[in-house]
Amino acid sequence: MRISELSRRSGVPNATIKYYLREGLLPPGRATAQTQAEYDDSHLRRLRLIRALTGVRGLSVAAAKQVLDTIAEEDQTDTHHVLGLVFGVWPSGSSKPETADGQVPVECPETDALVDAMGWTVSTYNPARQVIDRTLETLRSLGMEQDWRSLLPYAELAARTARLDLDQLETLKDPLEKAERAVLLTFVLEPALMALRRLAQEDESIVRYGESPSLAALQPGRRRADEHE
Amino acid sequence: MRISELSRRSGVPNATIKYYLREGLLPPGRATAQTQAEYDDSHLRRLRLIRALTGVRGLSVAAAKQVLDTIAEEDQTDTHHVLGLVFGVWPSGSSKPETADGQVPVECPETDALVDAMGWTVSTYNPARQVIDRTLETLRSLGMEQDWRSLLPYAELAARTARLDLDQLETLKDPLEKAERAVLLTFVLEPALMALRRLAQEDESIVRYGESPSLAALQPGRRRADEHE
């Protein structure tokens, strides 16, 4: 297909596609004339993945390129590896741990103990490791006595969440499509999962401490429907 | 105690305490002389809460003041309400939904359906509601067929997570202390919970798709210890 059709089918503007081509995020099409090239479905899939990485969770174009390059270097039929690369990417928006450029794994003794206790297999280069050690440090500096053991019940729930995540990838055949879906599920779903926790916290708080009259007044829903004129 | 001792015991610099006093985040001490005031434990607790709201999760001083003011206006013995206020605050760092300034609840039909199905009681002003409807819209715009039903198993796990959260507040008596702890648990723990999910995803990916040789090479740990010299 021509670039115009690629644009139409992907929903990505012509100029943006050209920018991705210049930056090397999208491989060049098959040249059919001096100024024309043919693109195929692999370009379409790749565009969707770029869109997922940049548009959805706000990775910079440079960071997205790094992910794509790494995926491209690997055997794409190795699903676990493709997924591992995607899962290992930390979103630029959040507190970003240093990535293992120098390939020196950071010491994360508490995470290691937790991972061990859970029986998990986790690469020492997974940037999520550092987040856990740092969070525990922060909590302790704020006067909470927490160590990795206090995270064990949370880890158990995280394992179940991960199973739900991977379930949703099972039906997809193409590894790049799996990667795209994994990006969406991991990054896009994150705020919704944290939002679910907040809603559940409010409900659990009501269950334990009772509903305050002032808060009840803030809940139209069924209660207020009864009083409705 | 004098401001210098308040500073020492809270770990908050003198100048910062004075700034909080000027901005009204911290109520004035009891004046003992023209330029001296006495502070007590309530100031210390309040300072820790301010530190949790601003330092920990990066709420602006203005946003923190809003939370503190609202807590102050309420009956502080009403634990659920204090917690509700804290849980309802959306961190300034993340994609912040409009808060209910005008007291007009935003329509979130999918969240409402989900909350209903879960049997939760949630204020229509909980800003987390909007996050869920928006996330589902985003996922659909990216070609994933998702509606609130696909979030039900995640909501079930969120409910368990919330129970763990509230368990950790049970032992605390003072509502302001509970509020402080709730802020820490909700905001500070968030990155760690998402990190646990990423670690669990990597492990689950290995369980399902097998360990790739290239990734195994990235895992010193036990495996490499065997090969060591």
Where b means 16+ CB within 10 Å and e means fewer, B63-93 reads bbbbbbebbeebeeebbbbbbbbbbbbbbee
Would you say residue B24 has pLDDT above 50? yes
The answer to whether position B29 is within a domain reads: no
The answer to whether position B12 is within a domain reads: no
The answer to whether position B58 is within a domain reads: no
pLDDT reported for residue A37: 92
Q: What average pLDDT is seen over chain A?
A: 79
Q: Pick the residue with more confidence: A39 or A45? A: A39
pLDDT reported for residue B138: 83
Count of beta carbons in the 10 Å neighbourhood of residue B133:
22
- Percent of all residues in chain A with a pLDDT value above 70, rounded to a whole number: 76
pLDDT reported for residue B29: 92
Q: How far apart are alpha carbons A91 and B188 in whole angstroms?
A: 17
Contact A88 B155 (CB under 8 A): no
Q: Pick the residue with more confidence: A193 or B10? A: A193
The answer to whether position A171 is within a domain reads: yes
| Structural domain span for residue A79 | 40-227
Q: How far apart are alpha carbons A64 and A54 in whole angstroms?
A: 6
Q: How far apart are alpha carbons B199 and B209 in whole angstroms?
A: 15
**Amino acid (one-letter) located at A168:** Q
Q: How far is A190 from chain B (nearest CA, A)?
A: 7
Return left, alpha or beta for B221; rule: phi > 0 is left, psi -120 to 50 is alpha, else beta. Answer: left
pLDDT reported for residue B163: 95
pLDDT reported for residue A215: 44
Decide if B4 touches A, using CB distance below 8 A: no
The answer to whether position B100 is within a domain reads: yes
pLDDT tens track for A137-173: 888 877 788 899 999 999 999 999 999 999 988 888 7
The answer to whether position A93 is within a domain reads: yes
pLDDT tens track for A1-16: 999 999 999 889 999 9
pLDDT reported for residue A51: 83
Q: Which of B215, B196, B227, B189 is nearest to A125 (CA)?
A: B215
Q: How far apart are alpha carbons A154 and B185 in whole angstroms?
A: 12
Residues 6+ apart with CB under 8 A from B222: none
The answer to whether position A4 is within a domain reads: no
Contact A84 B166 (CB under 8 A): no
Q: How far apart are alpha carbons A160 and B217 in whole angstroms?
A: 27
Q: What total number of domains does chain B contain?
A: 1
Would you say residue B104 has pLDDT above 60? no
The answer to whether position A14 is within a domain reads: no
Decide if B30 touches A, using CB distance below 8 A: no
Q: From residue B87, how far is each of A38, A101, B13, B217 by CA, in Å?
A: 53, 38, 28, 43
Radius of gyration of the CA atoms of chain A, in A: 23
Contact A188 B139 (CB under 8 A): yes
Q: SS3 of B90, please? A: coil
Q: How far apart are alpha carbons A157 and A200 in whole angstroms?
A: 14
